[in-house]
Structure 1
Amino acid sequence: MEAIEPAYGTAVLLLIAAGAVALLLLLIMKFKLHAFVSLVLVSVVTALAVGFPVADIPDVLMFGFSDTLGSVALLVAFGVMLGRLLEVSGGAQVLADTLVNRFGERRAPLALGIAALLFGFPIFFDAGLVVFLPIILTVARRFGGSLLLYALPAAGAFAAMHAMTPPHPGPVAAADVLGGSIGVTMLVGIPVAVVAWYVGVMLVSRWMGARIHIPIPEVLFGEARDSNGRASGERGEDGAEAAPGRPAPSFGLVLLLLLLPLVLISLNTVTDTLVTAGTLDEGAGWVQFLSLLGTTPVALLITVLVAIALLARPRASSMSDVTATLDESLGPICSIILITGAGGMFGGVLELSGIGGALSDSLSDLGMSLIVQAFLISALLRVAQGSATVALTTAAGLIAGPVANAGLGDFQIALLVIAVAAGATVLSHVNDSGFWLVSRFFGMDEKTTLKTWTVMETTLGLSAFLVAGGLWLVV
C-alpha cells in the first residue's frame, strides 16, 4: 500500500503519533491489558485519528501485520525448533562449556558479543538473535546473575552489524543512494560498529546487568527428557526410572549447525550486494538459486532438517520423539509471534499515515552540518514511525541532493551512511517490531524493555554517531 495524502500538518501528525504511543503504554503498563490486544486496539484508533477512510482501515492494519508476521513467524518457528534441539541434546551446553573454557567465566559476555559480531557480519539481526538464543540462555543459566549481562552484548552486536555494515541491505541502499562506494562503506563501517558496540553496548550492559535483574526465561528450557522421551526421573511403564540420556554431541557438530545458516544466508546477502553493484546478473538462474537457499526461512529450514538428521534422530528412540520435541518448542512462541506482528501493524499504520513524508518535508533544509543533519533526520523518522529501514532509506534520500552538490569523497559519504544508520538505531520503542521481539525473547515487560533495550540501542547509535562525527571533523 502507499501512504495517504496527510489530512493534517506535520505538528498534528506528530501529536497523534505521540498520543498513540502514550495510550499504548497506558493500556499495557497501567491497566495491564495484554500487549497484543493493546497494539491492535491502538492501531485501529490511530488509523481513525489520522484520517484513513473507514473502508480502507482493514487493509491498513494488515499492511504492517502481514508484512511483519510473514518474515517473523517462519524465522522464529524454525529458530526455536533449532534452539530446542540444541538444548535437549546437550549441544547448547557443549558450545557454552567450550566457549567458557576458552575465555573464562568473567569474559563470557565478551566472548558472546565477539562471536555475535562475527556471525552478525552477513546475517540479519533477527535471524542472528534467533540462532544465538540457546547459547545466550545456556551461558546465562550456567553462571546465574541477570540475563542482561549475556543477552545485551550479543543482541547489541547483531544490531550494530546489521545497521552499519554492508552487505546488510540498509547501509548498502544508503551508500547507493548517496553515490558512495559499498567497499569503502564496509571498510569504514566495520571498525566504527565494533567501537560503538564496545562503548555503547558492552560497557552499558555491564552497568545495567549489575542493577537490573532479569531471570532466565523458559522460551527454550522445557522439562529435560531422555532418549525415550521421558522426563528426568520419570518412570517408564515397567516402573523403572528413566535411564540417563545418550552422549552429548561433539563441539564440531554443534558448530556446524550454527555455521550452516550463516553460510546459507551469506549466499543471499552477498549475491544481493553484487547484484546491486552490477557485478552479477540478477536474472541468472544460478544467482536466483543461491538467493533462494540464502533466504532466511529456507536457510533455517535446511538447518533444522540437518539438525534432525545429525543431532536429534541418533539420540532419540523414534522419529515420534523428535516430532514431540519440535511440537513442544512451538507452544511458548505463539505470543511472541503475534505480539511482534501487532507491533509491525502499529508501525505500519504510522508509516502509511504520511507522517514520514510530512516530517521529511519539514526537515529537508535544516541549515546545519550534513553529518548532523543526516543523524537528526534519521533519528526523528525512526522515533516517529518505528521502522529503522524506512528511516535509513528516507533520510539518505533527503540528503542525497546536498551530498551530490558538495562533491564529497567515498570516505566522507561512508561517514554519512554511518550517521544515518546511527540515527535509525536510536530509541527503539513500542512502534518497532524489533522491540517486541527482544521483549518477549528475553522475558521482559514493556517498562523493563524501555529501560534496557531502548537505552542500549540509543547509546549504541549515539556512540556510532560520535565516532563518525569525530572522523568527519578530522577529514
Structure 2
Amino acid sequence: MEAIEPAYGTAVLLLIAAGAVALLLFLIMKVRLHAFVALVGVSVVTAIAVGFPLADVPDVLMFGFADTIGSVALLVAFGVMLGRLLEVTGGAQVLADTLIGRFGESRAPFALGVAALCFGFPIFFDAGLVVFLPIILTVARRFGGSLLLYALPAAGAFAAMHAMVPPHPGPVAATEQLGGDIGVTLLIGAPIAVAAWYVGVYLVSRLLGRRVYVPVSDVVFGEVRDERGLSGAEREAEQEDGGAVRLGRTPPRFGVVAALLLVPLVLISFDTVLNTLGTAGALDPDVGAAAFMGLLGATPVALMITVVVAILVLGRPRTSMAHVRTIVDQALGPVCSIILITGAGGMFGGVLELSGIGDALSSSLSGLGISLILQAFVIATLLRVAQGSATVALTTTGGLIAGAVAEADLGDVRTALLVVAIAAGATVLSHVNDSGFWLVSRFFGMDEKTTLKTWTVMETTLGLSAFAIAAGLWAVL
C-alpha cells in the first residue's frame, strides 16, 4: 500500500504523531485500557486525523497489522513450543548450568549476552529472543533478583546484531544504497556492535537491574515454578506418588541441547548467506538448490523443523506423543495476547509510515548543514521516533543521503561507518509505535511504564554508544 500525499505540513504531521503517542500512553498507563484495544483505537483516530479517506482506513490499519502478524505469529508460536519442550525436559536447565559452570554465577548475565551475540549473527531479533527466552527465565529463576539483570544483556545483544551487522536486512540495504562494500561493513560493524553492546547494554543493564525490580515472568510458559523447575501441580503429584520421574528428571545431555539450538542457527544461515550472495550478484537465490536451501532457511520453516527435531530428541524419548501434544498445546494459549498486541503495535507504526510523516520529515532535513555522519544519525533517529520501524528508518535514511555520499566519494570504510551511524539512530528510543517494544514488554512481563524506563533507555544507550564509536573513528580515519 502506498503512502498518501500529506494533507498538512511537516510540523502539523509531527504534532499529530506526538499527540497520538501521548493519547496512547494516557489510555494505557492512566485509564488502564487494554493495550490491544488502545493501540487499535488510537490507530483509527490517527488515520482519520492525518487525512486518509474513511473508506481506506480499514486497509491502512491492516497494512501494518498484517505485515507484523505475518512475521511474528509463526515465530512466537514455534518459539514457545520449542521453549516449552526445553523447559519441561530440563534442557534449559542443562544449558543454564553449563553456562554458569563455564563463566561462574556472578558472570551469568555476561554469559547470556555473549551467547546471544554469537547466536544473533544470522538470526533476526524476534526469532533469537523467542528461542533464548526459556534459558533467560531459567537462569533468572535460579539466581533471583531482577529479571532485567539477565534479560537485557541477551535481548540487547540480539538488537545490536540485528541493527548493525550484515547479513541482517537493514545494514545490507543501507550499504547497497550508499554504494559501500558489504564485507567491509561486516568487518567494521561487528566489532562496533560488540563494543556498543558491552557499554550501552551490559553495563547499563547492571545499573537498571539494581534500580528496577522485575520478577521472573511466566506469562509465556505458564505458572510459576520452584528452583527445580516444578509447578505446584507437579510438586503435589510428586508427594502423592513418592517421587515419580517427570520429564525434567532425566534431562538431555548438553551436547544434544546445544546441537538442537544450532539447527535454526545453521538453517537460517542458509537464507541470510544466500540473500547476501544474491545481493552481491554472485548467484541467483531464486532457482535450483539455492532456492531450496533458502526455503529451509526461512525463519518460520527453520523454527518448525527445529520444533519437530525437539519433539523427536527431547519429548518422544521421555513420554508419549499424546503428552508431547499436550505440552506444546498448552504453550500456545498464553502467547495469544503477545501476538495480538505486537500486531497492533505494528498497525500503529504502519499508520504513521503511510501517513507521509517520514517522507515529510526527510525532505525537511535533507539540507542540514552539519557533518554527514551526524546528519545520518539525526535523520535516522527522527525517522525511528516518528514511525517506529528500525528497518524503515535505516533504508529511508540511506536513500536520502545516498546522493551526498556519492558526491563525497568516501570510500568503503567511511561508508561503513555511515551505515553504523544510521543503524545507531534507527536503534534509539524504541517506544509504543515499535512492535519490538511490545514483544519485549509482554515476554518479560513488564508494564508499559517499566518498559519505557528500561528497554527504551537501554536501546538508546546502545544506539548512542554505537554512534560515539563510529563518530570517533570517522574523525581519525
TM tier, smaller: over 0.9
Alignment of 1:229-240 (within 5 A): 231-235=233-237, 240=241
Amino acid corresponding to residue 435 of structure 1 in structure 2: F
Which of 380, 383, 402 matches 2:382? 380
Amino acid corresponding to residue 315 of structure 1 in structure 2: R
How far the C-alpha of 1:224 sits from its partner, in A, is: 6.9
- Size of the alignment, in residue pairs? 470
2 CA distance for matches of 1:29 and 1:330?
Answer: 27
Going from structure 1 to structure 2, the CA distance change for 1:344 and 1:77 (only over 3 Å counts) comes to: same
2 CA distance for matches of 1:234 and 1:139?
Answer: 24
| Match status 1:309 vs 2:318 | no
| Residue number in structure 2 paired with 1:437 | 439
Q: Deviations over 1:258-293 (max 9, x none)?
A: 111111111101100110011111332211111110
How far the C-alpha of 1:223 sits from its partner, in A, is: 7.0
TM, length-normalised to structure 1: 0.97
Amino acid corresponding to residue 176 of structure 2 in structure 1: D
| Residue number in structure 2 paired with 1:70 | 70
State the secondary structure of the residue aligned to 1:107.
helix
2 CA distance for matches of 1:230 and 1:16?
Answer: 49
How far the C-alpha of 1:235 sits from its partner, in A, is: 4.8
1 CA distance for matches of 2:285 and 2:158?
Answer: 28
How far the C-alpha of 1:257 sits from its partner, in A, is: 1.2
How far the C-alpha of 1:408 sits from its partner, in A, is: 0.7
1 CA distance for matches of 2:98 and 2:243?
Answer: 28
- Contact persistence 1:73–1:337 (CA under 8 A): yes
How far the C-alpha of 1:232 sits from its partner, in A, is: 1.9
**How many percent identity over aligned positions?**
75
Going from structure 1 to structure 2, the CA distance change for 1:182 and 1:154 (only over 3 Å counts) comes to: same
Which of 299, 303, 315 matches 1:296? 299
| Residue number in structure 2 paired with 1:34 | 34
- Contact persistence 1:418–1:464 (CA under 8 A): yes
Q: Deviations over 1:85-122 (max 9, x none)?
A: 00000000011001101110000000000111111111
How far the C-alpha of 1:374 sits from its partner, in A, is: 0.3
- Contact persistence 1:87–1:221 (CA under 8 A): no
2 CA distance for matches of 1:140 and 1:305?
Answer: 27
**Ranges in structure 1 where 5+ consecutive residues have no aligned partner:** none
| Match status 1:99 vs 2:99 | yes
Alignment of 1:5-404 (within 5 A): 5-218=5-218, 219-222=220-223, 231-235=233-237, 240=241, 243-245=244-246, 246-316=249-319, 318-404=320-406
How far the C-alpha of 1:242 sits from its partner, in A, is: 5.9
2 CA distance for matches of 1:240 and 1:251?
Answer: 29
- Contact persistence 2:147–2:213 (CA under 8 A): yes
Large movers: runs of 4+ above 6 Å: 223-226
State the secondary structure of the residue aligned to 2:105.
coil
Going from structure 1 to structure 2, the CA distance change for 1:235 and 1:181 (only over 3 Å counts) comes to: closer
- Contact persistence 1:140–1:147 (CA under 8 A): yes
How far the C-alpha of 1:221 sits from its partner, in A, is: 4.6
2 CA distance for matches of 1:140 and 1:224?
Answer: 12
2 CA distance for matches of 1:82 and 1:355?
Answer: 39
1 CA distance for matches of 2:462 and 2:235?
Answer: 46
- Contact persistence 1:88–1:224 (CA under 8 A): no
- Contact persistence 1:224–1:231 (CA under 8 A): no
State the secondary structure of the residue aligned to 2:437.
helix
Q: Deviations over 1:59-99 (max 9, x none)?
A: 00000001000110000000000000000000000110011
How far the C-alpha of 1:240 sits from its partner, in A, is: 3.9
1 CA distance for matches of 2:233 and 2:170?
Answer: 46
2 CA distance for matches of 1:390 and 1:371?
Answer: 18
Going from structure 1 to structure 2, the CA distance change for 1:272 and 1:315 (only over 3 Å counts) comes to: same
- Contact persistence 1:84–1:221 (CA under 8 A): no
1 CA distance for matches of 2:225 and 2:258?
Answer: 22
**Ranges in structure 2 where 5+ consecutive residues have no aligned partner:** none
2 CA distance for matches of 1:178 and 1:240?
Answer: 67
State the secondary structure of the residue aligned to 2:67.
helix
2 CA distance for matches of 1:468 and 1:215?
Answer: 36
Going from structure 1 to structure 2, the CA distance change for 1:235 and 1:93 (only over 3 Å counts) comes to: closer
Amino acid corresponding to residue 119 of structure 1 in structure 2: F
- Contact persistence 2:285–2:294 (CA under 8 A): no
1 CA distance for matches of 2:15 and 2:169?
Answer: 31
1 CA distance for matches of 2:204 and 2:183?
Answer: 30
TM, length-normalised to structure 2: 0.97
How far the C-alpha of 1:222 sits from its partner, in A, is: 3.9
Going from structure 1 to structure 2, the CA distance change for 1:230 and 1:41 (only over 3 Å counts) comes to: closer
How far the C-alpha of 1:248 sits from its partner, in A, is: 0.7
Amino acid corresponding to residue 356 of structure 1 in structure 2: G
Considering only aligned residues, what root-mean-square deviation do their CA atoms show, in Å?
Answer: 1.5
2 CA distance for matches of 1:259 and 1:283?
Answer: 25
2 CA distance for matches of 1:360 and 1:390?
Answer: 12
- Contact persistence 2:428–2:459 (CA under 8 A): yes
1 CA distance for matches of 2:224 and 2:200?
Answer: 37
2 CA distance for matches of 1:222 and 1:249?
Answer: 23
- Contact persistence 2:16–2:49 (CA under 8 A): yes
2 CA distance for matches of 1:41 and 1:240?
Answer: 52
